[in-house]
Amino acid sequence: MTDDPSTATDDATHATGADADGSPDAEGSADSGGSADPGSSAEAGTAVRRGRFSGGPAREFLSSLDADAAIFEADLAVDRAHVVMLAEQGIVDDATAGEILAALDDVAAAGHGALSGGEDVHEAIETAVIERVGPDGGRMHTARSRNDEVATCIRYRLREDVLEAIAATLTLREALLEVASEHVETTMPGYTHLQPAQPTTVAHYLLSYEGTVARDTARLLDAYGRVNRSPLGAAAFAGTPFDVDRDRTAELLGFDGTVRNSMDASSSRDFLTEAATALATLSTTLSGLAEDLILFSNKGFIDLSDDYSSTSSIMPQKKNPDTLELTRGVAGDAIGEATGTLSLLKGLPRAYNRDLQRAHAGVFEVAGDVAEATRVAAGAVATADWNEGTLADAAGEGFSTATGVADLLAAAGLPFRTAHEVVAEAAPAIDDGDSPATAAETVDEAARSVLGESLFAYVGRDEVERALDPAESVASRDSAGGPAPDAVRDALAAAADALEEDSATRDARRSSLAAAAESLEAEVASYA
């Protein structure tokens, strides 16, 4: 992925020629970065570099060919669409276009590994085409630069990664909803600061993550919309004198439109930072979920499936949550990549700078890692066993129903801060094993100390005992989005509808890309 060197020196360009229709040919266009016969110089070797720029000790450092395996298929698609457009516009004759397209098929069949050396995949593919077709193979580069070419390839590949990440979030949300629907009334402890806080339910807990992952889906869908715009036709950054049809190449490649300003199109990488940040945010969600499940496993609240665990090499009794630990670890990579991408871009002037060569490979890698971690988290959630008895026993630990008693007193007319003081006075004397009746007596003693009168002057004994029962406490919290069973069932239905809508959106985008690929294949075949 390198800047087009075609205007760097007279030594690097051909004399201007003309096609049969009078148009300047690719080799002669300063915008095209056209190619000479690679056999014209002993040092040539590639379609672009020759003469004083053909070698040197830094040539390996400049090369991105190995890393470009990630965009090999993307580059072939971009090449094909560009050549079809050139033929349709009369810039390249149909016969030459057919020869180039056939050569591209040969290159595709041979694979990335068969490419000879070069600075990048774009140069290597063009060189391979010229080797098969002859100098006319260089016409494939007419009216474009490697700048707009690579920007298009990155977007073409990245949108696939984003769609895969979106699909993984949908799978995780489905797993969260399915397990939540099975545990609407399963009480469990809720924590703040890792201290027992208030009782809740497994369903309410899992829905808290489903809501977060749903926003992760939304961020990725939004990012996709800005990724899926075509820069092709912007050339180096200042457009081209050729009568190109940028909308046509965008259509053939399945883009939703173009990045219109040619300088913006070739040089901007904000779409990379947006995708990287959305992936990092998703990975942070996964890290929190993984941490919770690791702690729950430690407490005996859940049993992880053997499929998502491992054992020790020396301690055979161990069952370790290794996959979740790795899921948690992926967040560090994703956050680092998002930060690194922003740092790389922060000081670059317009338009193209070679720094951009290093801007995307890590994002591709992290996208794959985050998508895989998301699917692993979904599997761990779907296959874990929730130990309902252990969870119910722990739900009231640490006097977690204290707030319910304070709320009860406040509802009876006592100022909440006064009610809070009463319950706080009782808290040190209440043990986890105390029954609701025993705990109610303890709170009554505290009320006599703070208020100078019995607790039961304000509320009935039965009401207090119900408030002290974890299951009753949960049932009373029926505000929208709360843990009460009816509120949770409403939330489950709404979340299922949103999941279905997001799935349909993702499927539509996938279908649109498939249709474009089929259309491009048909157009290419017409030149055979």
Token reading at 402: 């204290």
| HEC profile of 317-338 | CCCECHHHHHHHHHHHHHHHHH
Residues 6+ apart with CB under 8 A from 95: none
3-state secondary structure of 477: coil
Q: Can you list the positions of beta strands (E) in 118-273?
A: 187-192, 195-201
Catalytic annotation on 449?
A: no
Residue 428 Ramachandran class (φ > 0 left, ψ -120 to 50 alpha, else beta): alpha
Answer yes or no: are the C-beta atoms of 356 and 153 closer than 8 Å.
no
CA nearest 27: which of 3, 54, 48? 48
Q: Which of 40, 41, 310, 312 is catalytic?
A: 312
Q: How far, in Å, CA of 176 to CA of 315, rounded?
A: 32
CB burial of 330-367 (b: ≥16 within 10 Å; e: otherwise) equals bbebbbebbebbeebbeeeeebbeeebbebbbbbbbbb
Catalytic annotation on 193?
A: yes
Q: How far, in Å, CA of 384 to CA of 314, rounded?
A: 25
**Dihedral sign of CA atoms 280, 283, 288, 291 in order:** negative
Token reading at 407: 């709320």
Q: How far, in Å, CA of 256 to CA of 467, rounded?
A: 56
Q: How far, in Å, CA of 25 to CA of 126, rounded?
A: 16
Answer yes or no: are the C-beta atoms of 120 and 146 closer than 8 Å.
yes
In what helix (H) or strand (E) does residue 296 lie, and over which residues does it extend? helix 270-299
CA nearest 426: which of 410, 404, 442? 442
In what helix (H) or strand (E) does residue 385 lie, and over which residues does it extend? strand 385-386
Residues 6+ apart with CB under 8 A from 372: 168
3-state secondary structure of 265: helix
Which positions are catalytic? 193, 312
